[in-house]
Structure 1
Amino acid sequence: MSSRSEVYDFMEEAGMLFFATVKDNKPKLRPIGFRMMEDEQIYFVTGNKKDFYNQMVKNSNIEVVGQSGGKFLRYYGHVAFDEDEDKTLIKKAFEKMPMLEKMLQGKTGQPQVFHITKATAEIRTHTGIVKSYNFLD
């Protein structure tokens, strides 16, 4: 199992993940339930008219936190938006979570696929880091 697969599996166990961005120099958190892994990359989706999207465009630094059992994950780096011109990724996202398509209609704008690049993943307990991974892509 690859390091990224281990991180993805932890995310799946955690269920809901919390994404931290910045707006007006203040932290903003939101729960996100969707993620998928394709070709050894972890992808997320949002709408391009959402505050979340605009915050990531303005400041690409992001951190994701999830908790499972007595451990939690910190996954942080820079947002990279994926072109997905042929819509392959978004089609796979809708296959994995059909309700996502309805959630991303109307006011949220067009679905935008993204991943976290130059990322560090830390699986931690409240006393320290258990495992740490660096992903340079």
Structure 2
Amino acid sequence: MTIKEIYEAFDKIGCLSFTTVDEHGNPESRIAHLRAYDEHGIYFMTMFTKDFYKQMKHNGKLAICGLNAKTTVEHDDEGMPIFEGGYAIRMTGTVHEISMDEIKAKHNPMFTMCIKDWEKYPAMVVFCITKGYGDVFDYDFEQITRDNKLQRIYFAFGGEQENYKGLKIDIEKCISCGVCKNKCSFLAIDEHDRVYSVNKYRCDECGDCYINCPAKAISY
């Protein structure tokens, strides 16, 4: 995914959860939104009077997460939850404060809101996520629109590496019994010539393959 595509996936959601760590190592979250993007990264704002600002200046890291789907959970006749299809997206990134002079010098209409917000609230400051990695968790658990429950899209920019998720099968220990493939409701086990592997784009890390493997060939 490009920076533009990452930004648009987040921006389609709007309000997002931004998490940082305080001076005691405790995570703190708040709701905010992104403002703009360019070739250097993805931008957002806060005020220098907030703990959010202090925490980012202290360690330069944050995590963002959002959900593009109905947020209330309905239940079926057996009391089991029904999740409407949609996607979640998360990103871990490194941030740097950007001066308002730098923002103005861009002469980019996308940053107009940043400038107007700063003029109205002079304590506002701009941060840029200069590098980050994450994934889009595109799900359809009821399999209404496709035959698999999950499709993960991994991304990274600014020199970061994609951080793939999913369990792993040790081919040296695997006895090719096929139990993992039969147990996986996410259709995340691939098989070629009796060699089994976990598809990192479909794996939910649910643990069914790990629990049921008779050869203990699966790790997480």
Equivalent position of 2:156 in the other structure: 134
Show the counterpart of 1:37. 37
Structure 2 gap segments, 5+ residues each: 70-85, 140-148, 160-220
Distance in 2 separating the partners of 1:129 and 1:77 = 22
Q: Are 1:115 and 2:137 an aligned pair?
A: no
Say which structure is richer in helix.
1
Pairs within 5 Å for 1:52-71 = 52-69=52-69, 70-71=86-87
C-alpha distance in structure 2 between counterparts of 1:62 and 1:128, whole Å: 26
Q: Indicate the RMSD between aligned Cα atoms, in angstroms.
A: 2.9
- The size of the alignment, in residue pairs, is 132
Alpha-carbon distance in structure 2 between the residues aligned to 1:114 and 1:97: 11
Give the Cα–Cα distance (whole angstroms) in 1 for the partners of residues 111 and 5 of structure 2: 23
Equivalent residue runs for 1:1-137 within 5 Å = 3-23=2-22, 24-39=24-39, 41-69=41-69, 70-88=86-104, 95-96=112-113, 100-101=117-118, 104-105=121-122, 109=123, 111-125=124-138, 130-136=152-158
Looking at structure 1, the residues matched to 18 and 153 of structure 2 have their Cα atoms a distance apart, in angstroms, of 20
Offset of 1:83 from its aligned partner?
A: 3.2
93 and 29 in structure 1: CA distance in 2 versus 1, 3 angstrom threshold: farther
Of 13-22 and 122-131, the range deviating more from structure 2:
122-131
Q: Secondary structure at the match of 2:37?
A: strand
Q: State the Cα distance separating 1:124 from its structure 2 match.
A: 1.2
Contact 2:41-2:131 within 8 A present in 1 as well: no
Unaligned ranges ≥5, structure 1? none
Report if the CA contact (8 A) 1:66-1:73 is conserved.
Answer: yes
Higher relative contact order (CA 8 A, sep 6+): 1
* Shift, 1:125, TM fit: 4.1
**TM norm structure 2:** 0.51
Shift of 1:72: 0.8
Query: What amino acid maps onto 2:126 in structure 1?
Result: V
| Structure with a larger share of its residues in strand | 1
TM-score, normalised with respect to structure 1: 0.77
